[in-house]
Chain A
C-alpha cells in the first residue's frame, strides 16, 4: 500500500494540496510532507520507531484554516511512536484535525505521547479521527498531559470512524487554571474482542475554571470498555461535569468509574452515567417504522456516536 492510498482513505487530498492549509504527514517513522503557514512552526525529528514533533503557535496568531496531521502506517506490522510537544502561545489559536490511518494493521502499535501547553487566552482544538483495519490487530495508546493557563481553552474529540478498535488505551490529564475551559469527548464503538480503556482526568485548580468529560461508548459481541473519568475542583466557582453513556449488546461488558472530588465549598461538579442495553422504547419506536431490530440498534448507536 502506498501513502497516497492511505491519505485517500482519510479524504484529505484537498487540504494537503492547499498551500494555505498547514499539514504534516507521517508514515511510520518518516515525514512524508509538511506545509506550514505564518505564525506556525512545526519541527520534526525522525527516530527509530517514530517521529518527535514540536509545534509552536506564535503569540497572538490565530491559524485561520484547520491544520491537518496524518499519522499512518502502510505496513501490516509495526510500532509507531509519536512524541509531541505543543506550545500555543498567549492569545493564539489553532484547530488540528488528526487522521490516524492504519487500514492494513494486523499487528500495529501506535503510541502518541503529547505534552501540551496552552498559554493565557490561547485556544487549542484537537480532533482525532481513526481509520483501522477490520482485523483488530492494532493497539492505540494516546497519552497527553495538558496545562491550561488563565483563560485558555482546550477541546478534544476522539473518534473511530472506520474499522475495529483492537485495543485502545486513552490517558489524558488536564490541569486548568483561572477561567480556563477544557472539553473532552470520546466516541468509540467496539465489537468482537476489542478492548477500550479511557482514563480522563480534569483538574480544575483555577478560579472559575470549567471542564466537561464526555464519553459515548458502544460495546457489542465480546468487547469490553472501562471508562475512568476523574474530575477534581479545588478553586472557587470552578464548574465540572462528567457524562458517560455506554450501550452494551450481546456479551459486551462496560464499566464506568467516575471520580468526582471537590475541595472548595464554592466549586461544583456534576456527574451522570448510563450503562445498559438499547432503550426498549427507542428500539420499538424505530421497529414500528419498519426497521429490523438490528437496523434499529445500529441507528441508535450511530446517533450516540455521531
Chain B
C-alpha cells in the first residue's frame, strides 16, 4: 500500500522542466531507490516532496496517507513524519550534537542521544558535546545526520546520496541505520546513482531528464541501470538557475 504518492508531478525552474509528469507510489515500510545519473531530477524530487524553498510551485500533487501535502510547510510535513537526510548536511557553529539530535527527537526521553549515537557507531562520550560544525569530517557529519533521523523515527525518510563523502566502514554503519529505520516501520527512499546503495533497496524508480523512465523490483532495475545508464553519454544537465541539484 502506498504511503506517499507523487501524482503527475512537474516542476519548472527558470522556465525549464526539471520534473516532468512523474507518477510514483512509495509502498509503506519498504526501501525504495530513486536512481539516475547526475541531473536526472532525483534530488529535486526529494526537495519537492519535502517542500523546500524554491521547490513548492508544482503541477500535480503529493499525497501522504491519503491527503495532499503540497500546500504544507516543511515543518508541517515533518510533523506528519516526513524527513530528508541531506547529501551534504548543514553545519552549525556552536550547536552541539546533543542539541541537534534532541531537537530532532520524536520522543524527548533520557538517553535518546546516547542511544542513536551508539547505533551509528559514534561514541557518545566523545561526540555528544562536540559541535555540529566544520570540525566534523564528512563521514562523522553524515552519521550525525543519520542519528538525528533515527531519533526522529520518521514514517517516510528520503536519504540523498547516503554514500557521498564517506568511507567503506562508515557506509556499513549507514546501511545498518537504514535497516534499523526499516525495523521501525519507516518507509525509506534512497536517492542515489550508486549500485552499492541501490542494492539496499527492494524497489527502484529510474529517472532520466526529469522523467520516470523505468520502475520495478531492484533485480530488474539494477542490471538495466548498469547496462544502459552508467555508460550512457546523454547529458542530464538542466539549468536549475543555481538551485542545488545533484
Name which of A216, A245, A279, A281 has the most chain B CB atoms within 10 A of its CB.
A281
Chain A residue numbers with a CB within 8 Å of B77 are 288
In the bound complex, CA of A233 to CA of B209 (Å): 55
Asked if A285 meets B90 with Cβ closer than 8 Å, knowing A290-B104, A290-B152, A303-B131, the reply is yes
Q: Which of A252-306 contact B (CB under 8 A)?
A: 279-282, 284-293, 295, 299-300, 302-306
Q: Which of B141-172 contact A (CB under 8 A)?
A: 148, 152
Least distance between A180 CB and chain B CB atoms (Å): 26
Q: Are B95 and A289 in contact (CB under 8 A)?
A: no
Q: Are A280 and B53 in contact (CB under 8 A)?
A: yes
In the bound complex, CA of A245 to CA of B103 (Å): 23
Q: Are A281 and B78 in contact (CB under 8 A)?
A: no
Q: Are A292 and B75 in contact (CB under 8 A)?
A: yes
Least distance between A237 CB and chain B CB atoms (Å): 26
Q: Are B93 and A303 in contact (CB under 8 A)?
A: yes
Chain A residue numbers with a CB within 8 Å of B79 are 290
Q: Are A304 and B94 in contact (CB under 8 A)?
A: yes
Query: In the complex, which residue of chain B has the Cβ closest to the Cβ of A292?
Result: B75
Query: In the complex, which residue of chain B has the Cβ closest to the Cβ of A298?
Result: B103
B73, B96, B104, B131: which contacts A289 (Cβ < 8 A)? B104
Q: Are B83 and A289 in contact (CB under 8 A)?
A: yes
Name which of A279, A287, A288, A300 has the most chain B CB atoms within 10 A of its CB.
A288
Asked if A289 meets B152 with Cβ closer than 8 Å, knowing A299-B103, A300-B95, A303-B99, the reply is yes
Cβ of B50 < 8 Å from any Cβ of A? yes
Per-residue 0/1 for A179-215: is the Cβ within 8 Å of any B Cβ (1 yes, 0 no)? 0000000000000000000000000000000000000
In the bound complex, CA of A295 to CA of B78 (Å): 14
Query: In the complex, which residue of chain A has the Cβ closest to the Cβ of B131?
Result: A303
Asked if A287 meets B94 with Cβ closer than 8 Å, knowing A280-B53, A299-B99, A299-B103, the reply is no
In the bound complex, CA of A103 to CA of B50 (Å): 44
Q: Are B94 and A305 in contact (CB under 8 A)?
A: yes
Chain A residue numbers with a CB within 8 Å of B131 are 303
Interface residues of B, CB < 8 Å — how many? 29
In the bound complex, CA of A293 to CA of B99 (Å): 16
The secondary-structure label for the interface of chain B is: mixed
Interface residues of A, CB < 8 Å — how many? 24
In the bound complex, CA of A280 to CA of B131 (Å): 19
Per-residue 0/1 for A52-84: is the Cβ within 8 Å of any B Cβ (1 yes, 0 no)? 000000000000000000000000000000000
Query: In the complex, which residue of chain A has the Cβ closest to the Cβ of B106?
Result: A290
In the bound complex, CA of A81 to CA of B103 (Å): 42
Q: Are B53 and A288 in contact (CB under 8 A)?
A: no
Chain A residue numbers with a CB within 8 Å of B86 are 281, 285
In the bound complex, CA of A284 to CA of B84 (Å): 10
Query: In the complex, which residue of chain B has the Cβ closest to the Cβ of A291?
Result: B103
Cβ of B3 < 8 Å from any Cβ of A? no
Query: In the complex, which residue of chain B has the Cβ closest to the Cβ of A281?
Result: B90
In the bound complex, CA of A306 to CA of B100 (Å): 13
Cβ of B92 < 8 Å from any Cβ of A? yes
A280, A288, A295: which contacts B83 (Cβ < 8 A)? A288
In the bound complex, CA of A280 to CA of B242 (Å): 14
Least distance between A285 CB and chain B CB atoms (Å): 5
Least distance between A243 CB and chain B CB atoms (Å): 10
Chain A residue numbers with a CB within 8 Å of B50 are 284, 288
Q: Are A302 and B93 in contact (CB under 8 A)?
A: no
Query: In the complex, which residue of chain A has the Cβ closest to the Cβ of B93?
Result: A304
Chain B residue numbers with a CB within 8 Å of A287 are 73-75, 78
In the bound complex, CA of A302 to CA of B95 (Å): 7
Q: Are B92 and A303 in contact (CB under 8 A)?
A: yes
Q: Are A306 and B94 in contact (CB under 8 A)?
A: yes
In the bound complex, CA of A286 to CA of B95 (Å): 12
Cβ of B52 < 8 Å from any Cβ of A? yes
Query: In the complex, which residue of chain B has the Cβ closest to the Cβ of A285?
Result: B90
Chain B residue numbers with a CB within 8 Å of A286 are 103-104
Query: In the complex, which residue of chain A has the Cβ closest to the Cβ of B145?
Result: A285
Cβ of B216 < 8 Å from any Cβ of A? no
Q: Are A245 and B93 in contact (CB under 8 A)?
A: yes
Cβ of B223 < 8 Å from any Cβ of A? no
Query: In the complex, which residue of chain A has the Cβ closest to the Cβ of B133?
Result: A303
Q: Are B92 and A282 in contact (CB under 8 A)?
A: yes
Interface, chain A (partner B; CB < 8 A): 216, 245, 279-282, 284-293, 295, 299-300, 302-306
Sampled A-B contacts (16; CB under 8 Å): A216-B94, A280-B53, A282-B90, A287-B74, A288-B77, A289-B78, A290-B104, A290-B106, A292-B75, A299-B95, A300-B92, A300-B95, A302-B94, A303-B93, A304-B93, A306-B96
Known pairs A285-B86, A285-B90. 4 more at Cβ < 8 A? A287-B73, A288-B83, A289-B83, A303-B93
